[in-house]
Amino acid sequence: MGGADDFHEFAGEVFRSVKPIVRVANKGDLLSDGEIREVREALPGCDVISADYELTLTRAFNLGIISSTDTSFDVSGRANSRQAEALETIRSAFRSGRLKRAGGEILRAVAKERLRRIVVYPVQDETHWTDSQGNVLPDALMVPEGTTALDLAYMIHTEIGDGFIRAIDGRTKRALGKEHELRDGGRGKDSEQGEIENMFKDRLHNHCRADC
């Protein structure tokens, strides 16, 4: 039989498998390049981020100073010289890989690579990608890889699952059977929204859309 060291090693492996840890170090904007390297060497796999930089981009976007919160943003004429310089510093830090984006890179990687989840968007109107109130892409659901159209129908409501006949891919307008496995979007910007699935609201609407 193994000793205490073997037991702790085994327990550690089990814990890492059942409860994986993602190491993230904040305040990267205050660290030099050398200090960032030291953090990464001391904590292998640790991502260095800056919540202040993320907040700055969000506020600049809300004020109309930049066109988006990703690093391809355009700076508007509203920005003064100091603001424009600060925004370029932030852009450079993210684009160079010196800092990671907390949401855009880290959370997406955790969801897809560790949790094996994809994002789907159930809608009522597959033409305009809206619900009955006209809200565009009203919900985003993170579901396990391998989830089928029928699985998603039951996630939304039992009656929708019970009365399920088909789903509609909102981008291609292709009818999808109950065993069709949902997929996340492609790699390009135009396909990051994932697969739009239209689950009809009630059994009567299901039969009408399928048979009328």
Q: Which residues contact 207 (CB under 8 A, 6 or more apart)?
A: 163, 165
d(CA 118, CA 140): 10
pLDDT at position 157, please? 85
pLDDT tens digit string along 50-79? Answer: 999 999 999 999 999 999 988 888 998 888
Q: Which residue has the higher pLDDT, 55 or 212?
A: 55
d(CA 184, CA 198): 15
d(CA 51, CA 47): 12
102: phi then psi, degrees, rounded to nearest 5: -60, -45
Q: Tokens 């550690």 map to which residue?
A: 12
Report the pLDDT averaged over residues 78-105. 90
pLDDT at position 3, please? 66
Q: Find the helix or strand (DSSP H, E) in which 162 lies.
A: helix 158-162
pLDDT tens digit string along 163-200? Answer: 888 888 877 888 888 898 888 742 222 333 344 445 44
d(CA 183, CA 177): 14
DSSP output for 25-43? E--GGGS-HHHHHHHHHHS
Global confidence as pTM: 0.60
d(CA 166, CA 175): 6
Domains assigned to the chain: 4-108 (no CATH), 117-211 (3.10.20.30)
DSSP state of 73: P
Mean pLDDT lowest among 90-94, 96-100, 128-132, 142-146: 128-132
Q: What is the share, in percent, of the chain residues with pLDDT greater than 70?
A: 85
d(CA 87, CA 81): 10
pLDDT tens digit string along 13-41? Answer: 887 777 778 889 999 999 999 999 999 99
Most confident among 43-57, 129-143, 196-210 (mean pLDDT)? 43-57
- Look at residue 87 and tell me whether its pLDDT is greater than 90: yes
